[in-house]
A and B are shown apart, each in its own frame.
Chain A
Amino acid sequence: MPDFLILMKSELLITLIIFTLLLFKLGKGLANEKILSLVQVLLLINVFVSAIGNTRGSIFGSLFVNSPLIGFQKTTLSLGVYLISLSFSGWFRKHAHLTEFFVLILSSLLGMYFLLSSGNLLMLYLSLELSTLPLTALANFELEKKKSSEAAMKLILSSAFSSGVLLFGISLFYGATGSLQFDIVGTSDVITGFPILALVFIFSAFAFKLSVVPFHLWTADVYEGSPLPVTAFLSVISKGTMAFVLLTLLFKVFSRYEAVWHWLLVAFSLATMIIGNLFAIRQHNIKRFLAFSSIAQVGFILVAMVGVPVTATTAVTYFILVYLFSNLAAFVVAGVLYDHAGIEDIKRLKGLRQSNPFLAWMLALALFSLAGIPPAAGFFGKIFLIGTGAYSGHVWFILIAALNMVVSLYYYLQIVKLMFMEDADHAMPELKTARSDRFTLIVCTAGILLGGVFSWIYDYIQRISI
């Protein structure tokens, strides 16, 4: 088989799925149920295809690179999108333009695959646009809702601005080094200040995408306004990809300027953890709450990036896998609550255990994992992140990070307390959870509970990230 068929297998498969959906759309069109099950089957195949047979190699003049680690990261993303397609069935069944929804979301996923595999700054820019532009259209997917169009407006403006900043940085970098290849620009000896300026610009562009404080202002509004599946995609898949890419950029492209970005990262991660936590405390809307809690989680991810390359890559990749399960479970429960009872306010979760014990337990487990309470995998994820950050030797920095974990415990447990300890103001009916939503929740719970117990997952990531 030719090289590119093996190296680009997941990209080719996603393209194929997109074209299949487009063909169905061109014809008579299918009922939502049929499209949904078709997409689910194809995405499940995609998870397996991206999981097996990842070899190291590069094609097209190293525009496109692949390695077992990138393959693992792609598998994580594919798994996330598969779980999203399984859940939110209430929203999916109702929507009139389901095919377009999946075409857009898969285009964005394709962009993210290319982003992870890019070995060249041109490729990086193109795939970044491919991954963000469909997302802005998706944010506007509930056309008749005011909030949705506001969210899309904020998302497109901030992402266009951040890509402009990124491009300015890339142009300075090109001027200084004369190349766009990662391996060439990463090792060049330039004494001018251009690369440092470029580092600042490129880092702030990715800080925008990762919603690092002070570039986070769009996050809460976009999360609140977008439809729930899109919010889940934004906060789990998109955030994970950007974290992976930032790892590559810092450790490969800017490895020679570590003295500069070291303190940049320390400052940004402190600001992100503290502001994200403080704002999360005062949220009443569950989507906004999850937005700020995900900002705080990004702060913890940045803590790990201060450490040694291989350990940091391992810790972040492992954490994103765990974060995917825990955050997705929280979003699925929020989706069921919103679809069947119109609940968006956290206060209305009071006494959820009495009316819907299954949902309450699932949400509680997800929140335990997000907060980092021992049996859940989130605890191990956080331990590895903070342990990696400790390599930097700044004790005060690690101490503040640990104290922030305590603060986050407060607001996560607040919700658990509402659900379990208090009585409902109004009696809530038992909500009917669709079978596929139940399946997602159980898969996520299995991931949360077993992800921490099976240490070979971490060992495996460590082995492939060398």
Chain B
Amino acid sequence: MNTPGLYHILFISTALFFIGVYGFFTRRNLITILMSIELILNSVCLNFIAFNKYVWPEKLDGVFFTLFIIAIAAAEAALAIAIIINLYRSHNTIDVNAAEEMKY
């Protein structure tokens, strides 16, 4: 077996990114949308680590960036879930279609 190269990993991470984008636009459940965003962020982490390992092995910027992304994604998810819970209290659902108080 060959060991995976940079392009294999880039392929996976790009696929993951667009799966996340697809999920973000098609899903109607807020928690699933949040999960799609996490997919996007994780694909970015994969990208950074792959670039760091294969292209710039002498540098550390990518690894540090990944750590920061993980930390901030946690903060973002916490805030998003708080907002979703509040939305659930007022609308009794977490379907985005129900949030239609404001229209053009």
Contacts and interface: CB of A to CB of B under 8 A. Distances in A.
A180 B91 contact: no
Nearest to B41: A164
A397 B17 CA distance: 35
A164 B20 contact: yes
Nearest to B36: A161
A168 B47 contact: yes
Nearest to A147: B101
Given A122-B68, A147-B102, A160-B37, A171 B44 contact: yes
Given A133-B76, A160-B37, A180-B61, A174 B51 contact: yes
Contacts of B43: 168
Interface string A124-159: 011001000100110010011111011111101100
B40 A168 contact: yes
B51 A175 contact: yes
B56 interface: yes
Given A129-B72, A167-B69, A175-B47, A149 B55 contact: no
Main secondary structure on chain A at its contact with chain B? Answer: helix
Interface string A170-198: 11101100111000000000000000000
A178 B87 contact: no
Interface in A36-74: none
Contacts of B24: 157, 161
A178 B62 CA distance: 9
A337 interface: no
Contacts of B68: 122, 125-126
B87 to A, nearest CB: 5
Interface in B14-70: 17, 20, 24, 30, 33-34, 37, 40-41, 43-44, 47-48, 50-51, 55-56, 59, 61-62, 64-65, 68-69
Given A146-B90, A164-B41, A175-B47, A122 B65 contact: yes
Contacts of A343: none
Given A122-B61, A129-B76, A220-B104, A153 B90 contact: no
B87 A150 contact: yes
B12 interface: no
A150 B102 contact: yes
Taking residues whose C-beta sits less than 8 angstroms from the other chain, chain A's interface range is: 35 or more
Interface residues of B, number: 41
A242 B14 CA distance: 27
A175 B55 contact: yes
Given A180-B61, A180-B65, A149 B79 contact: no
A151 B41 CA distance: 23
Contacts of B91: 146, 149
Contacts of A389: none
A279 B48 CA distance: 41
Contacts of B84: 153
B95 to A, nearest CB: 11
Contact of B79 (A145, A156, A167): A156
A327 to B, nearest CB: 21
A168 B44 CA distance: 5
B47 A171 contact: yes
Contacts of A125: 65, 68-69, 72
Nearest to B6: A175
A178 B55 contact: yes
Contacts of A229: none
B37, B43, B65: residue with the most chain A Cβ atoms closer than 10 Å: B65
Interface string A221-255: 10011000000000000000000000000000000
A161 B37 contact: yes
A220 B103 CA distance: 9
B59 A167 contact: no
B102 A160 contact: no
A149 B99 CA distance: 9
A136, A157, A165, A225: residue with the most chain B Cβ atoms closer than 10 Å: A157
A144, A161, A180: residue with the most chain B Cβ atoms closer than 10 Å: A161
Given A125-B68, A175-B51, 12 more contacts: A125-B65, A149-B83, A156-B83, A160-B34, A160-B76, A161-B24, A174-B56, A174-B61, A178-B59, A180-B61, A221-B102, A279-B104
13 contacts: A137-B82, A137-B83, A140-B86, A146-B91, A150-B102, A152-B87, A154-B99, A164-B20, A171-B48, A174-B48, A174-B61, A174-B62, A175-B51
Interface of B: 17, 20, 24, 30, 33-34, 37, 40-41, 43-44, 47-48, 50-51, 55-56, 59, 61-62, 64-65, 68-69, 72, 75-76, 79-80, 82-84, 86-87, 90-91, 96, 99, 101-102, 104
